[in-house]
Amino acid sequence: MGRILHCGAALALLLLLVAAVYIVVYDPLVTEYRVNSQRIDQRARQIAATQGVIDSGPAVQARVERLRADTSFATLYLPDASDVLAANRLQQQVKEIVEAAGGTLLSSQKLPTRAESPFEAVAVRVNISGDTEAVASVLHSIESQAEPLLILDELQLQSRNRRQTRRVDNKRVVESITDVTATFDITGYRREVP
């Protein structure tokens, strides 16, 4: 019986040694192999994607050059040689639009130019007043203007109702008039000169 116990203990010790080798050596190696294999696969996919981008480089560059040479969009930009001239043009344009709509231009101020490569954003802050129809007409004219492309933002409106009396056929007529003051920014874009 002692011999069977010794054989059993030796077998148990051998199994324990095999399990220890498996846990300490084999399992970490296999796990590391799997992790490295996944990393290699991921890097191979990244390399393939990067190679695709590199291969498309000449085609993309040719497209960019065609777009730069395309002058059909030139009318959307402010044509002036400097941001100061472009701001002056915007101010004059707004003045004409406001006067045509029957409003009053209270003030206009050039805002700092922002570089948004390959463009410069030229902005003017405008303050106008008029009746509801005049202000609405001004805002519509600026937003719907096709060339150059202008963007209106930071709009603030204030209204004030007043009564006006006038004579019509020797009768006194009282009208309710809404005066509107509008403050807003107008931004146009100018191509940067290289």
Give the residue extent of every domain in the chain: 1-70, 74-191
b (16+ CB within 10 A) / e for 3-40: eeeeeeeeeeeeeeeeeeeeeeeeeeeeeeeeeeeeee
Q: Which residue has the tokens 């192999």?
A: 33
- pLDDT in the model for residue 193: 58
- pLDDT in the model for residue 15: 84
CATH topology of domain 74-191: Alpha-Beta Plaits (3.30.70)
Task: From first to last of the 194 residues of the chain, give the pLDDT tens digit.
Answer: 678 877 878 888 888 888 887 888 788 888 888 888 899 999 989 988 888 888 888 888 888 787 667 666 677 778 777 888 888 988 998 899 999 999 999 999 998 988 877 788 899 999 999 988 999 999 898 888 767 888 889 999 998 888 877 777 888 887 877 888 999 999 888 876 55
- pLDDT in the model for residue 127: 95
Whole-model pTM above 0.85? no
- pLDDT in the model for residue 124: 94
Instruction: State the Cα–Cα distance between residues 91 and 96, nearest whole angstrom.
Output: 9
